[in-house]
């Protein structure tokens, strides 16, 4: 499968899960997925709200010189009568007096004792937000399936919610594999490697809205891997790292097959990450991610993140690819979509590939702030050419 086909496959096969719910205080619900529709408890704005400091008038009365007949501040109501050919001094956020249909900005008037001279004309409706134009009482302002970010948190506070229903977070089992891998807290022998993948995956799972559950390192034996995957299937999703290549001791696929797996793909035309397995056992989805650290991290972002977001109840997964200008020539061998560590400038306008020693080079990934995305059907780019970029 190509990159796009594989991504579409994940989105197609993993439907947004609308299962169990939790009630969460609004503050700790940030990042989680709404499990209920949220309704406007009243009109927004609840009154004709001045958008400016200035003078409430009838648009038909200006240009002209008008007597100032009163004042209305935010948090107050003008109780007087808005006289024809009169102006009421008004502050931003204050309710427009009945009878007025526009606000003249204070910058556009000349004050003369208790009169204001207004030189320019104004249209009815200018500089105030009419009642109910942002939302009407009873209207849905947030839908179930929406991720709660800071703007959604503002909406929840706006309608007076302090608790909110969210979907239960999926539990994601993380299974590192490999005879050469030791736990990060151990001192490795010269030919051994510390387990970093389980930890980077845990961080990625958490960022995607899942609850990571790191299992002990599975060894490159059928029995060890089989037992780990069985245990992992108690979670909502299984992520395996390593053991999916063509090597003699790469037995993850065999174990998954024997556990009754249906495979959606076992290879994707990307680098890093070609041998990449996605499937389902019963109702539990799994990914067999290649063990090279860059492959594990990149393939998670490209495919597994979307699956976790959907299992968390989200109805859409973003994978925005920006465009930036290359600061140097770049070429690659077409046929695979490549994701390479890169540095994007602060304003996002230019990008530079950072050197690396290949997909085992963890420090280079930490130095990068993005991945340069080289399309499979193009061979070379020149300085100044646009290229796609995936943020880290």
Looking from the CA of 53 toward its CB, the CA atoms found within 13 Å total 3
CB of 205 to Mg ion, least distance (A): 21
- Whole-number minimum distance, CB 189 to Mg ion, in Å? 16
Give the residue with the Cβ less far from ligand AMP, 48 or 241: 241
- Residue 293 makes contact with Mg ion by CB under 5 A: no
Residue closer to ligand AMP by CB (options 21, 219) is 219
For residue 76, how many C-alpha atoms fall within 13 Å in the half-sphere facing its CB? Answer: 11
Round to whole Å and give the CA distance between 11 and 305. Answer: 11
Q: How far is the CB of 248 from Mg ion (least distance, A)?
A: 11
Stretch that binds Mg ion, among 119-127, 157-165, 221-229, 238-246 (CB under 5 A): 238-246
d(CA 265, CA 13): 11
Query: Least distance (Å) from ligand AMP to the CB of residue 296?
Result: 7
Q: How far is the CB of 295 from ligand AMP (least distance, A)?
A: 7
Determine contact, residues 52/91, Cβ cutoff 8 Å: no
> Least Å distance between CB 178 and ligand AMP?
4
The one of ligand AMP, Mg ion, none whose footprint includes residue 54, by CB under 5 to 8 A per kind, is: none
Least distance (Å) from Mg ion to the CB of residue 243?
5
By beta-carbon proximity to ligand AMP, the closer residue of 183 and 329 is 183
When binding is defined by CB under 5 A, the residue of 178, 209, 232, 290 that contacts Mg ion is: 178
Q: Interface residues for Mg ion in 63-122 (CB under 5 A)? A: none
The set of residues, in sequence order, having a beta carbon less than 8 Å from that of 269 and lying 6+ positions away, is 1, 2, 3, 335, 336, 337, 376
Binding partner of 97, given Mg ion, ligand AMP, none, CB within 5-8 angstroms per partner class: none
The C-alpha atoms of residue 42 and residue 92 are separated, in whole angstroms, by 20
With CB under 5 to 8 Å by kind, the binding choice for 197 among Mg ion, ligand AMP, none is ligand AMP
Binding Mg ion (rule: CB under 5 A), the pick from 170, 242, 313, 341 is 242
Q: Where on the chain is the footprint of ligand AMP (CB under 6 A)?
A: 176, 178, 180-181, 193, 195-198, 241-243, 245, 247, 290-293, 360
Give the residue with the Cβ less far from Mg ion, 170 or 243: 243
Is 16 or 243 the residue whose CB approaches Mg ion more closely? 243
The C-alpha atoms of residue 89 and residue 69 are separated, in whole angstroms, by 8
Least distance to ligand AMP, CB of residue 310, Å: 25
Look at residue 290 and give the partner it binds from Mg ion, ligand AMP, none, a contact being a CB closer than 5 to 8 Å depending on partner kind.
ligand AMP
Q: Which does 279 bind (CB under 5 to 8 A by kind): ligand AMP, Mg ion, none?
A: none
Compose the 346-385 pattern: x for residues touching Mg ion by CB under 5 A, - for all others: ----------------------------------------
Of the two residues 63 and 358, which places its CB atom closer to Mg ion in the complex? 358
CA separation for the pair 63, 52 (Å, rounded): 18
Residue 256 Cβ vs Mg ion, minimum distance, rounded to whole Å: 15
Q: Which of the choices Mg ion, ligand AMP, none does residue 196 contact, using the CB cut-off of 5 to 8 A by kind?
A: ligand AMP
Choose among 253, 276, 34: nearest CA to 142.
Answer: 34
Main-chain phi, psi angles of 23, to 5 degrees: -100, 125
Name the token pair of 183: 């736990």
* Residue 359's binding partner out of ligand AMP, Mg ion, none, with CB under 5 to 8 Å set by partner kind: none
**Binding region for Mg ion (CB under 5 A):** 178, 242-243, 291
């Amino acid at each position: 499968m190509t990159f796009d086909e594989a991504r579409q496959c994940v989105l197609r096969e993993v439907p947004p899960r609308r299962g169990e719910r939790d009630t969460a205080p609004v503050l700790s619900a940030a990042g989680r997925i709404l499990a209920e529709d949220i309704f406007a408890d009243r009109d927004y704005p609840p009154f004709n709200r001045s958008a400016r400091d200035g003078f409430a008038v009838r648009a038909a009365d200006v240009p002209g010189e008008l007597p100032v007949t009163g004042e209305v501040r935010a948090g107050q109501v003008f109780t007087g009568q808005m006289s024809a050919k009169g102006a009421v001094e008004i502050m931003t956020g204050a309710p427009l007096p009945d009878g007025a249909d526009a606000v003249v900005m204070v910058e556009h008037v000349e004050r003369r004792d208790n009169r204001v001279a207004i030189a320019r004309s104004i249209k009815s409706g200018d500089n105030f937000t009419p009642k109910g134009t942002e939302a009407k009482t009873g209207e849905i302002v947030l839908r179930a399936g929406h991720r709660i970010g800071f703007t959604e948190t503002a909406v929840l506070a706006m309608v007076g919610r302090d608790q909110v229903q969210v979907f239960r977070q999926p539990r994601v089992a993380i299974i590192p594999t490999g005879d050469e891998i030791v736990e990060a807290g151990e001192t490795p022998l010269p030919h051994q490697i510390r387990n970093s993948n389980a930890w980077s995956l845990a961080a990625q799972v958490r960022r995607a809205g899942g609850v990571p559950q790191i299992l002990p390192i599975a060894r490159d034996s059928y029995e060890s891997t089989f037992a780990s995957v069985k245990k992992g299937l108690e979670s909502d999703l299984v992520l395996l790292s390593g053991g999916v290549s063509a090597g003699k001791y790469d037995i993850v696929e065999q174990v998954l097959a024997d556990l009754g797996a249906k495979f959606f793909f076992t290879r994707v035309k990307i680098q890093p990450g070609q041998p990449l397995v996605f499937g389902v056992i019963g109702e539990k989805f799994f990914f067999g991610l290649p063990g090279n650290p860059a492959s594990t991290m990149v393939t998670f972002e490209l495919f597994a993140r979307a699956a976790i977001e959907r299992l968390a109840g989200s109805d859409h997964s973003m994978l925005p690819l920006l465009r930036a200008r290359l600061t140097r020539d770049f070429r690659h061998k077409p046929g695979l979509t490549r994701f390479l560590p890169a540095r994007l400038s602060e304003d996002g306008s230019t990008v530079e590939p950072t050197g690396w020693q290949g997909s085992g080079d963890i420090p280079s990934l930490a130095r990068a702030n993005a991945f340069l995305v080289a399309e499979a059907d193009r061979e070379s780019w020149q300085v100044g050419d646009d290229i796609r970029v995936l943020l880290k």
